[in-house]
Structure 1
Amino acid sequence: MSLRSRLIAQSLRGNKLLYSILRPSPKIIQWYVHPQTWIVGKLFSPFGVRTGKTSFGNVPVVTFTPKKNVRKDSIIVYLHGGGYCFGSSLTTHRIGLANLCKITSCIIHSIDYRLAPKHPFPAGMNDAMQAWRAIIADYPDTEIILSGDSAGGGLSLALMMRLRDEGLRLPDAAVLFSPWTDLTCSSETYKTLAKVDPMLPSSAPNHCAKYYVSDIDKRKEPYVSPIFGDLTGLPRMLILVGDREILLDDSRKIGEKAKITGVDIEVDIWPGMFHDWWLFGSSIPEAIKCLEKVEQWI
């Protein structure tokens, strides 16, 4: 773990403490986080990437395009994280997606699906499905890689299961960063890693799950919590997760279950890393190394 990673991890503990004390609503989190990350994203996104707003299937999408050496054979479709309650392509995820675009040389279509609590499940899933149908119609002969982080990683898994169940085209591969796959929040690492995780309080996922799916029993449905679903027939996958995040078991258990069903999957656990470290871009060397691993894998 680099010195810069250690410093950023320590700085994150302040936000973790504030969340634990104040327990802000999603609206307050958006008000606090989105303007800051929009400014930071504008200032520190890498050169060489063009961004533009568009839509697929009437769902808002932000497209990231490399200015040079664009890959013609592959694109990435992205679903951002944020507990299904906050986050967007041009705020929380701008730096990370611009770096992913630049390093992989892939065009990225990042879907800004509707968020809870105003739009609980299945609104986000339906938006992802609607956008996906339009994207595959526009790219019939192109390799499509589905990607997402945290809640967006879980939504990516759920989307793939629904595509399979409805007989629609699946992505050719999937790259998931620290996916949130169990909205019952019952895995062991919620307890064992609660103190070492510098970013996520163990209560935060439960709060987000409540806004996304208020009925506790429905949180075990596969399209909500993919860990309870059948992964048979899904495409090859790469999961990248840190060993200091409470969602670690969400990745490990998906990896174990996927292997049993015959899915080609790699779960890459990064020592010392915290939740979604790759979003910090060139601030920490492990972020760039992570995206270089993705580029090699795809």
Structure 2
Amino acid sequence: MYLPDAMIPALLRLTHAHRPFRSAQGAEDAIRERALRPAAYGPPARVRPDVSITVDRDGATPVYTVSPTSGGSSGHVIYAHGGGWINTIRSQHWALIFQIAAEAQITVTVPIWRLLPYGDAREANALMLRLHTALQRSGHPVHLAGDSAGGQIALSAALALRDAGIAGIRTVLIAPALDLTISNPRIPDVLPTDPWLGVDGCRVLAEKWAGDLPLTDPVVSPLFGDLHDLGPLLLASGTRDILNPDAHLLVEKARAAGVDVTFLEREGAVHDFPLLPTRVGAAARARIVAALREET
């Protein structure tokens, strides 16, 4: 069953999803709350029958592997979940991950990277690179994907891997955070229409996530990186999302660098719309699955 798109902004406000992002105090409160009461991150007890799940560890970090149960797997994708660097993986992420594994016939690796106040961009980047290096030994393609904060992690990892000599990685980005300076001059125009994200809280979270790196370091803000020799990008973004203006900049910069970019922009859609239980979200999920399937 799908929800009408028009209901989503009201639901976001009703659940106070915007609270950590709208004010500096909201962000600080959310960091303290998440440290005091960590949320459960494990997959749901009931999963679709066409996938299997195992879990391992990278040091103290849980790393899940979701595989198709029939037809074999022809590749890998590392999925970095979103959540504003303070929220862990949720049921919507798991549902998309299961769909990717089953319908794209691909194995999905899901690291539960450390959130604020303990994790930072440098640590997440190193984790993604270790996982990619290990999966490469299979001899199959290894792609990257992520949404929101996880989109930042995924694209920053693609840049670092390219710099390490691994070019041409396919990357799927869902409403990614691209420039953590949050300085795009078009953001104030979008802000009144965005029911989820805000500027003041996001700036606090961004500064803490950067750790000892400048906000303009590509490990923190991948929009500042050199995009040459990246593999194909699929980018999904809604126009009621303050991250949408930077999505346009990424598309322009990537195409100028010769990167093959597919831009799924949805007029009137909110942040992370492909993860939502709407017809528009379902259509975007199908495009994501198709993009990963065609490259494996």
Tell me the TM-score range normalised by the shorter chain.
0.7 to 0.9
Post-superposition shift, 1:214?
Answer: 4.9
What number of residue pairs does the alignment pair up?
286
CA distance in 1 between counterparts of 2:196 and 2:38 reads 14
1:50–1:6 distance in 2 versus 1, CA, 3 Å: farther
Post-superposition shift, 1:232?
Answer: 0.8
Match of 2:288 in 1: 294
Give 1:69's aligned amino acid: G
Post-superposition shift, 1:17?
Answer: 5.4
Indicate if the aligned counterparts of 1:76 and 1:144 stay in contact, CA closer than 8 A.
yes
CA distance in 2 between counterparts of 1:32 and 1:197 reads 28
CA distance in 1 between counterparts of 2:88 and 2:238 reads 20
Post-superposition shift, 1:171?
Answer: 5.6
- Secondary structure in 2 matching 1:240: strand
CA distance in 1 between counterparts of 2:103 and 2:239 reads 24
- Secondary structure in 1 matching 2:253: helix
1:111–1:3 distance in 2 versus 1, CA, 3 Å: closer
Give 2:287's aligned amino acid: K
Match of 1:76 in 2: 77
CA distance in 1 between counterparts of 2:10 and 2:50 reads 31
1:18–1:57 distance in 2 versus 1, CA, 3 Å: closer
Match of 1:284 among 247, 267, 278: 278
Matched, 1:51 2:53: yes
* RMSD of Structure 2 on Structure 1 (CA): 2.7
Q: What stretches of structure 1 move > 6 A for 4+ residues in a row?
A: 30-33
Spell out, residue by residue over 1:119-164, the C-alpha distance to the aligned partner (whole angstroms, 9 max, x if none).
2231111111122211112x22x12221111121112111111112
Spell out, residue by residue over 1:31-77, the C-alpha distance to the aligned partner (whole angstroms, 9 max, x if none).
67835x86xx637865533222124687531112223334x322211
- Secondary structure in 2 matching 1:86: coil
Match of 1:158 in 2: 156
Match of 1:13 in 2: 13
Match of 2:270 among 265, 269, 274: 274
Structure 2: segments with no counterpart, 5+ residues: none
TM-score, scaled relative to structure 2: 0.85
CA distance in 2 between counterparts of 1:187 and 1:45 reads 40
Indicate if the aligned counterparts of 1:34 and 1:87 stay in contact, CA closer than 8 A.
yes
Match of 1:61 among 60, 63, 67: 63
CA distance in 1 between counterparts of 2:46 and 2:60 reads 30
Question: Identity over aligned residues, as a percent?
Answer: 24
Match of 2:39 in 1: 34
Indicate if the aligned counterparts of 1:237 and 1:266 stay in contact, CA closer than 8 A.
yes
1:108–1:218 distance in 2 versus 1, CA, 3 Å: same
Match of 1:218 in 2: 214
Post-superposition shift, 1:199?
Answer: 1.5
CA distance in 2 between counterparts of 1:65 and 1:30 reads 31
Indicate if the aligned counterparts of 1:189 and 1:247 stay in contact, CA closer than 8 A.
no
Match of 1:176 in 2: 173
Give 1:290's aligned amino acid: A
Indicate if the aligned counterparts of 2:275 and 2:285 stay in contact, CA closer than 8 A.
no
Give 2:39's aligned amino acid: H
CA distance in 1 between counterparts of 2:112 and 2:210 reads 19
